[in-house]
Amino acid sequence: MTARLPSGRPGGVVFLGTPEAAVPSLLALHGAGLPVRLVVTRGDARRGRREEPSPSPVKRVATALGIPVSHDVGDVVAAVDGVHDPLGVVVAYGRIVPSAVLDLVPMVNLHFSLLPRWRGAAPVERAILAGDRETGACVMELVTELDAGPVHSCIRTPIGEDESAAELRTRLAESGAAELARRCTTGFGTGRPQDGEPTYAAKIGPSDVAIDWSGAASTVLRQVRVGGAHTSLRGIRTRILRARPAQSPGVGGGEAGTVTRAVDGAVVVACGAGSVALVEVQPEGRRVVDAGAWWNGASSSHPGTVRFG
């Protein structure tokens, strides 16, 4: 049985979050004058193989604001001990909050989807891969079952046709933070139970963004928008960082995966249905280059047909 959410302004807040997407919410709570007593975040980590461990984006901001920081979720209870109407706020924390903590400290979560659609770790990416036209962010009560708690409010927004997952997440983080701060300031009544069949947003793995050129161009473009889309050219793994719908087909067309120049100068890849124009690519071990420069090198170093495998 989870603790009851405060009906008015909380007497003390603990914030749990880690990545950049959680920063707007922490800033919004602090800006609203809510008493954030502690920030709990993931431990310092190396962002590159040779770099020293560095703090999470949330830890950097909390430190700048003078808010105490912990890497142990068990510290939540002590941080609000004796506080009237305590509240925990979770935004992209990255770990499960133990039920023993939920029994003592009521918590809400800002989740980047229109629940119950896309419960889980990668709701933004899954919405794009599925071709959803709309998404949003919901303020929900945290319960032991994954993203299944009552919903207190949601904001809704269309997904742009060319919008990347990173761009969409940034928009949801900003607009969702404002709604989260509003609800935390005014207090919580009874949330509405989630209505409808849940869908689950599993983490994105390499297979989710491995391009199958025999499919539709629209599917390939969605994979590129998610980030990490990859293919291969004669055994060399190549990332497709940016692409767009082709305005004209490649010269001579060809089998799915065939790369040619189009009459408008674009570098075009034939798909099973339609074609896409490459904008930026990155061969393994090399820097990011625009598609035209990549094509000049690929076509000169590989005589004959250039085709992704």
What integer is the mean pLDDT of 125-152? 97
Mean of per-residue pLDDT scores for the chain? 94
Sheet holding 36-40, edge to edge: 69-70, 36-40, 12-17, 86-91, 107-111, 134-141, 151-158
How many CB atoms lie under 10 A from the CB of residue 139? Answer: 24
Q: Is residue 303 a part of any domain in this protein?
A: yes
Whole-number Å distance between alpha carbons of 99 and 2: 8
Task: Give whole-number Cα distances, 280 to 81, 114, 208, 251, 266, in Å.
Answer: 53, 32, 20, 20, 12
pLDDT value, residue 3: 80
Query: Rg of the Cα trace of the chain?
Result: 23
The Cα angle at residue 237 between residues 218 and 244, in degrees rounded to 5: 25
What's the confidence (pLDDT) of residue 251? 58
Cβ-Cβ contacts under 8 Å for 308 (sequence gap 6 or more): 211, 213, 231, 232, 233, 238, 257, 259, 269
Angle at 109 between CA 107 and CA 115, to 5 degrees: 130
Residues 180, 213, single domain; the answer is no
178 has pLDDT over 80? yes
pLDDT at 12: 97
Taken in order 261, 262, 268, 269, the sign of the CA dihedral is negative
Residues 218 and 133 in one domain: no
- pLDDT value at position 265? 84
Q: Which residues pair with 280 in a beta bridge?
A: 242, 290
pLDDT of residue 103: 94
Q: Is 134 helix (H, G, I), strand (E, B) or coil?
A: strand
CA 134/CA 89 separation, integer angstroms: 25
For residues 45 and 107, the model is more confident at: 107
Number of domains the chain is built from: 2
Of the three residues 184, 201, 218, the one that is the final residue of a domain is: 201
Q: Are residues 166 and 235 in the same domain?
A: no
Give the residue carrying structure tokens 């999470």.
56
Predicted pLDDT of residue 136: 98
- Asked if residue 252 has pLDDT above 60, the reply is no
For the chain, percent of residues with pLDDT exceeding 90 = 85
Please give the residue range of the domain that contains residue 121.
12-201
Same domain, 211 and 190: no
* φ, ψ for residue 96, nearest 5 deg: -75, 135
Same domain, 50 and 112: yes
CB 144, CB 102: distance < 8 Å:
yes
d(CA 224, CA 70): 36
- Residue 283 scores a pLDDT above 60: yes
User: Percent of the chain having pLDDT more than 70?
Assistant: 96
Using one digit for the tens of pLDDT, what is the confidence trace for 188-239? 989 999 999 999 999 999 999 999 999 999 999 999 999 999 999 988 999 9
Residue 100 has what pLDDT?
Answer: 95
Which residue carries 């040779």 as its tokens? 50
- 127 lies in the same domain as 168: yes
CATH of the domain at 214: 3.10.25.10
Question: How much is the pTM?
Answer: 0.94
- In tens, the pLDDT along 31-86 reads 999 999 999 999 998 777 667 889 999 999 999 999 999 999 999 999 999 999 99
Q: Domain check: are 30 and 174 in the same one?
A: yes
How far, in Å, CA of 75 to CA of 183, rounded? 24
| CA neighbor of 159 nearest in space, from 196, 129, 118, 202 | 129
Asked if 18 and 137 sit in the same domain, the reply is yes
- Find out whether 268 and 295 touch, Cβ atoms under 8 Å: no
131: left (phi over 0), alpha (psi -120 to 50) or beta: left
Domain boundary among 139, 168, 201: 201
More confident residue, 193 or 262: 193
Average pLDDT over residues 268-291: 94
Residues with Cβ within 8 Å of 176's Cβ and at least 6 positions away in sequence, in order, are: 24, 25, 110, 112, 137, 139, 155
**pLDDT band for position 262 (cuts 50, 70, 90):** confident
